[in-house]
Amino acid sequence: MDKIVIRGGRPLKGEVVVSGAKNAALPVLISALLTDRECRYLNVPQLVDTQTTLGLLTEMGSTIVADKEGIAIQIAELSSPVAPYDLVRRMRASILVLGPLVARVGRAKVSLPGGCAIGARPVNLHINALRKMGAQVDIEDGYIVASAKRLQGAKIYFDTVTVTGTENIMMAATLAQGTTELQNAAREPEVVSLAETLIAMGAKIQGAGTSTIVVEGVGRLEGTTATIMSDRIEAGTLMIAAAITNGDVVVKNCNPEHLLSLSELLQQAGCVLEKMDNAIRVQGVTRPEALDIVTSPYPGFATDLQAQMMAFMSLAKGTTLIAETVFENRFMHVGELCRMGANIKIDGHTAKIVGVKSLQGAPVMATDLRASASLVLAGLRATGKTEISRIYHLDRGYEAMEKKFALLGADIRRVKG
Ligand code: EPZ
């Protein structure tokens, strides 16, 4: 298995361009299931998860043509509305095919995703909502088996804000009979970008980006050409990299409006930020001020940036508290950061980080996508050599991360395992 080797201590300097967003690309690519016409997608990030998604769509009968501009997908005939366990276990977001398959062909067989490193990751809210729309949904041998002659519009209340739950049901509702109202819907920018893509296909959706989304079902959807929005989590990771290395970096091709919560925290920590039309400049600090951080659904502070921020706060002047309110086990990076000299204790859903003056390089192991990013950030700052193993986690969600950091002056390389 590949490793990333870093010799830390170099401030990052220069400009870096953010890639397309993993969490926007996955639902948008899957939305092609809703039409028999060709859809074209631009700015699709080259990630393990996007490749997995294209593989899944191919299994179902898609024709996929990739060229230097982008990716064309057409599912004229759905040969197999099945998402097998072997595939779903590698990418939980495969659950997003459930709603579109039932809406398009009236049936679906999707493996239960099972848990992952950061939590149990149930999909009960997806299933309950489909049942409310008239689908018969049973669990058989670890699979969700769903069917419906035609989904019916319904009023659906999500008792927990769920991003892919909102996306799954919003897609299903575009072809349902009548109107569907999603209450307590997720407000993430990725939900908005999916809604915009669906509207361009002929869907009738109002309220995306607010807690109440209303979808009026239509008979069919047309093809479209969509550009994947830039990845706000990659942008945030790059901003924190500039901060932790006391660097000076312009993060380009990002939307500062999607990063207000992180920007506020970085400024409170002592960083200097300059916002431009589609870029943010971040000047870091040697040692940040300690903060109180709570993760929450958008527009709150993103759980997907929690691990990265913890690496930065491990060097703070004082004690930082980070409460993880979205997932029940998203502190897997704590043990590895402590191996690098951080002083972090976990108390339930809260981590207490007593700032230290420096981190020391060490061999560490990635456990999940964002935890691996936090270890890279810690390694960029630490004195000495850091070797990060199991970086296949990183490759799921970051496009050529080590190359981007090397262009900013980091001493970082991928060692083929
Ligand atoms: C999406 O996951 C993202 N993935 C995650 O990004 C992100 O961390 C998460 O939203 C929160 O922002 C994609 O968009 C592909 P949720 P999702 O449903 O939709 C509970 C990354 O690092 N819940 O919003 O799976 C759930 O257990 C990944 O890029 C139920 O109880 O997350 C969690 O506690 C990690 N029942 C909370 O809701 C359900 O049916 C939020 O989960 C669904 C969710």
For ligand 1, atom 22, the nearest C-alpha belongs to 304
The C-alpha angle 357, 363, 366, rounded to 5 degrees, equals: 100
Distance 347 CA to ligand 1 centre (A): 22
Q: Which run of H or of E encompasses 327? A: none
Residues 225, 95, 113, 299, Cα dihedral to 10°: 80
Residue-wise pLDDT for 267-308, tens only, equals 999 999 999 999 999 999 999 999 999 999 999 999 999 999
Burial 378-412 (b: 16+ CB within 10 A, else e): bbbbbeeebbbbbbebbbbbbbebbebbeebbbeb
How far does the centroid of ligand 1 lie from the alpha carbon of residue 303, in Å?
Answer: 9
22-227 fold: UDP-n-acetylglucosamine1-carboxyvinyl-transferase; Chain (3.65.10)
- The catalytic residue among 116, 254, 271, 338 is 116
Q: Is the pLDDT of residue 115 over 80?
A: no
**Identical fold at 3-19+230-415 and 22-227?**
yes
**Residue 374 and residue 399 in contact, taking contact as beta carbons nearer than 8 Å:** no
Domain boundaries of the chain, sorted by first residue: 3-19+230-415, 22-227
Q: Is the CB of 308 under 6 A from ligand 1?
A: no
User: Among positive and negative, which fits the CA dihedral 392, 396, 397, 399?
Assistant: positive
Distance (angstroms) between ligand 1 centre and the Cα of 121 equals 7
Which of 31, 48, 126, 163 to mutate to test ligand 1, by most ligand atoms within 8 A of the CB atom? 163
What tens digit of pLDDT does each residue of 69-92 get? Answer: 899 999 999 988 999 998 888 899
For ligand 1, say whether the CB of 386 is within 6 Å of any of its atoms. Answer: no
Q: Write the pLDDT tens digit of every residue in 148-198.
A: 999 999 999 999 999 999 999 999 999 999 999 999 999 999 999 999 999
**Percent of the chain surpassing pLDDT 70:** 100
Is there a cis peptide before residue 288, judged by omega within 30 degrees of 0?
A: no
Catalytic annotation present for 116: yes
Which band of pLDDT confidence, cut at 50, 70 and 90, is reported for residue 120? confident
> Which pLDDT score, from 0 to 100, does residue 36 have?
97
Residue with structure tokens 């690519």? 29
Residue among 47, 164, 325, 333 to mutate when testing ligand 1 (max atoms within 8 A of CB) = 164
Does 368 sit in the ligand 1 pocket, CB within 6 Å? Answer: no
3-19+230-415 adopts what CATH topology? Answer: UDP-n-acetylglucosamine1-carboxyvinyl-transferase; Chain (3.65.10)
By the 10 Å C-beta count (0-12 exposed, 13-18 middle, 19+ buried), 302 is classed as buried
